[in-house]
Structure 1
Amino acid sequence: MRVLRVRDFRLLWMARLVAGVGAGLLVVAIPAHVYAVTGSVMATGFTLAAEYLPVFLLGPYAGVWADRWDRRRLMIATDLVHVVSVAVVLLGRTPDTVWLVYLAMLGEGTAGVLFRPAAQAHTPAVVGTGELLKDANTLSAFTTGAIGLAAPPLGGLLYATAGADAVVGVAIGCYLLSALALSRTRSRASPVSVPSPLSRTPGRARHLSALLSRTRASARDRTVRTALQQAPATRVLLVVNGVYLLANAALTALLVPFAISRLDGSTGVGYLLSALGAGFLLGAPIIRHVQLSLRAAVSGGMALVAAAFFALFNAPSLLLALIAATLVGIPGVGVLVTVQTWVQRSTPGEILGRVSAVFLTVEAAVALLGALTGPLLAEGAGLTVALNAACTLTLGAAALALRLPRRASTPWTAGNAVQAD
């Protein structure tokens, strides 16, 4: 892809790739480690809660920091926090010390919530807001799908064959490589000039105190709200995306019990997840050639996702279920790329980190809510009712997307590109 000819993006993409692999290896390995140590399903579930907690606590502030600090240095620092946090996992080897694993997951979640808005806001600064931005987001989506497909089972296999020490060691190596790649990119001026907390001037503590005070004020001020009020498409997109991801989280939480009870047991789970990942990979290159308005891309994509999920959960055979699962991923990646690219294109650079953090915080909130309400509804009304209710909610998000402006241009048809090195 042409965007890989841009040196700084190439390094940024490589950093996100290896960091994503490191995080993906832990998805299966850490819960497996906790379950092996404690034998408790509840204790294992706490690892997920520990990772989500920082998103709720730090989500609004993460965007402020991404806008006010040097994003390159912030991403490098979060990689190093990942290294320390993952290393702490090795200390939780008994039921009495498993709390250290939860502490490690808190650190892991904190680093992740700081890294994501910084990386999203940094991408347009590297490649510009023209055609290359679409290519950059498409490549990122493709990479995310590939990692999601391969890294978790590889982490589980590595854990089963070599133990937690090996998984943690590889993850640490990935994060160090990510930090190294980022360190080789060119430094870029911060969107807002503020005293750096890493400055070695005599007034460092005073500068840090002032920065934290401004951070708290910025998280509460009306800058982002005003920007959203003045951008009706982005405001509607925030609500639509939240409803869509709520339904998607519920569906994801129900996939495993569905596959075990309706398909081919645990083998069916593996096939189903692989089919979803394959659809995601197929969709990434397809979306590069699609030219639609914002409303058509979002509403149409969500409607196709809902239809594919309906087909999946009502399929009479494993083969048809796998075909439907593949079809879920193709429009799914289109919705993801469209939303992300629109936000990057339509938001002023000086507040892009904060607006990205708003979207990410809503995403985390509805993901946790959907993961709880989906199984809860299945317990009370049955799995079939819960699955079809979540599909209906996805279709509702598509209908809600019709409120997007009719003439809002597709998010990759305007703007200036960056010349490749």
Structure 2
Amino acid sequence: MNSPIRNPRFRALWVAGLLDDTIDWMLVTAIPIFVYRMTESAMTTSLAFLIELAPGVLVGSLAGIAADRYDRKKLLLVGTLLHAALAALLLPVTSGDQLWLVYAVIAGRAVCAQFVLTSKNALLPDLVEPGQRAAASNLVVLNSNLGRLGGSLLGGVVVAGGLRPVAAGSVIGLLLTAGVVSRIRRPERAQVGPGSEAAATGSAPGGPVATSVSAGSAAGERAQRAEATDPAAAAGPGRMYRHWREGVAVITGDRRLRVSFLAAILCAIGQGLFVVLFVVFVATTLHGTDAEIGLLRSVQGIGGIAGGLALGFLGTRVHPRPLITWGALSFSGLALLIWNAPMVTTAFGVYVALFAMVGLPGGVYYAGVLGMVQQRVPADHLGRALGSFYTVSNGAQAIGMALAGLLAERLGPVPLLNAQAVLYLAAGLMALLVLGARNTPETPANATPPAPAQTPLPDPHG
């Protein structure tokens, strides 16, 4: 009954996110299939993914700074409209001779996607009550899995007719998304930017418990005073660097966030191996068609949806640490089973079931990481922290993609995909040893301690 989906402001953001994620998954599935079928090269396929990640690495922190300095709703709307314009450029692409245009669109939409993703997640504190932020974050993760389920299947089926129908569907869907975003209404108390009243009086993670100023927040206030007295301090690269440094300080100053980010780096490298080699694995090892590639990419969303619904139902009763730990460990075990199952069988139905199952721990893990950031970072630094998270994740994925492109023809897809599973195993063990797996609430590391009656039980994991 207390689900944030009952909040019309959040519901509008959730619907817009669902549309955007569906289009994104359709493109993410269709474009690599198109490139691989045109070239039959793992290297050119990995190049497509690397081009998509490079702008994210370069502008991830900039997107986070923008989300903390400017109107998050407007950033979300502009990013969505620009994405629609870029998708329209794919309409004339019909052959491998036009891959240069495909690569250019990939780079441009990656920039837009970074601003959309960061502003969408940073907008949550403006739309929901502090106690609903974890549940709202879980529902955002559910969106990605719903989008994967529909968008990946659409991408695999529609790309059989070339990129033109994919581009046309993307433009229509993104324009609908922009229309929903334009209807989002924020409460009057919501303000965006460092030092906002909303951030200081209840939007910070943990509500009233987190009303004291963290080291990062204090730095932000000092920067604001400097900008007010010195116009030169309010402009230029120095300001951008200072805001970026404040966001990084929030992460490095919090032990649990540091460990969560290190685990995310390992998983992102593994994800980079996967996104390139998945198409190669299904096409060569399982001898799958384009539609079957899209179907397997799609059914991963089934497990993710099941996990997202469960997390949405549990709401504030489940906390990030066990999600990170058990999500990564369970994903590793299922991945090892999937990549080595061809030694026993290549029956397509078996892989439909296995890929549907692996989406559950994958979605749980991601919900845990995002929930850890949402709950432990002050609201006025959330955009910068998310920007740093996406930058680090994109950079680590780029490493995995480059390794996949360089080593796939020499080693084959299966050994490298086993390496993905081992990386998730290492991340899960790290989380188990440092974060633990107890289902206890998260509060900002520098927050004022709660009243004695509200103090949680001692946590042996720190």
- Give the structure-2-normalised TM-score: 0.75
Q: How far apart are 1:400 and its partner, in Å?
A: 1.0
- The alpha carbon displacement at 1:136 in A equals 2.0
Query: 2:304, 2:360 within 8 Å by CA — same for their partners in 1?
Result: yes
Hey, what's the Cα distance between the residues in 2 that align with 1:397 and 1:86? 36
Distance 2:310 2:402 in 1: 33
Deviates further, 54-63 or 174-183: 174-183
Matched, 1:386 2:386: no
Secondary structure in 2 aligned to 1:90? coil
C-alpha separation in 2, matches of 1:102 and 1:383: 24
> Partner residue of 2:224?
none
Name the counterpart of 1:127. Answer: 128
How many equivalent pairs are there?
400
Specify the alignment match of 1:313 in structure 2.
339
Match of 2:434 among 401, 404, 409: 404
Q: How far 1:381 moved relative to its partner?
A: 4.3
AA aligned opposite 2:181: L
Distance in 2, matches of 1:35 and 1:375, equals 12
Instruction: Write the mapping of 1:25-64 to structure 2, written as runs, cut at 5 A.
Output: 25-31=26-32, 41=41, 46-64=47-65
- Which is further off, 3-12 or 137-146? 137-146
Contact 1:293–1:407 at 8 Å: present in 2 too? no
Summarize the Cα distance change of 1:385–1:164 in structure 2 as closer, same or farther, 3 Å threshold. closer
2:346 pairs with 1:347: no
Corresponding position: 1:104 with 2:105: yes
Distance in 2 (CA, whole Å) between partners of 1:32 and 1:260 is 10
Structure 2 equivalent of residue 79 of structure 1: 80
Q: Does structure 1 conserve the Cα–Cα contact (< 8 Å) formed by 2:79 and 2:113? A: yes
Secondary structure at the residue paired with 1:329?
helix
Pair 1:381–1:58, CA change in 2 (3 A) = same
What corresponds to 2:143 in structure 1? Answer: 143
Q: Return the alpha-carbon distance in structure 1 between the equivalents of residues 277 and 248 of structure 2.
A: 35
Please list the CA deviations of residues 168-222 of structure 1 after superposition, one character each: whole Å capped at 9, or x if unmatched: 232222222222222222254222389xxxxxxxxxxxx999545455233553x
Please name the residue that 1:22 is paired with. Answer: 23
Quick one: which amino acid aligns to residue 371 of structure 1? M
Quickly say closer, same or farther: Cα 1:269–1:35, change in 2 above 3 A.
Answer: closer
1:371 to 378, 396, 401: 401
* CA apart distance, 1:353: 0.4
Name the CA shift for 1:411/1:268 in 2 (closer, same or farther; >3 Å). Answer: farther
Q: Which amino acid aligns with 1:144?
A: S
Listed as ranges, the matches of 1:238-257 within 5 Å are: 238-257=261-280
Deviations 1:277-314 (A, max 9, x none): 32222222233449566443322221111111122223
What do residues 58-85 of structure 1 show as CA deviations (whole Å, max 9, x unaligned)? 1121111111011011111111211222
> Match of 1:89, SS?
coil
> Percentage identity across aligned positions?
27
Task: Give the letter aligned to residue 7 of structure 1.
Answer: P
Report what 2:191 is aligned to: 189
Corresponding position: 1:296 with 2:326: no
Distance 1:218 1:253, change over 3 A: same
More displaced stretch, 75-84 vs 366-375? 366-375
| Pairwise CA distance, 1:3 | 1.9
2:139 maps to amino acid: L
Q: Identify unmatched segments of 5+ residues in structure 2.
A: 197-230, 448-462
CA gap 1:94/1:272 in 2 versus in 1, 3 angstroms: closer
The residue that corresponds to 1:175 in the other structure is 174
Structure 1 alignment gaps of length 5 or more = 195-206, 416-421
Find the counterpart in structure 2 of residue 201 from structure 1. none
> 2:184 is paired with a residue of what secondary structure?
coil
**Are residues 268 and 94 of structure 1, via their aligned partners in 2, closer, same or farther at CA, if it must alter by over 3 Å?**
closer
Aligned to 1:12: 13
Report how far residue 407 of structure 1 moved.
Answer: 8.7
For residues 274 and 18 of structure 2, what CA distance do their matches in structure 1 show?
26
Letter in 1 for 2:385: V
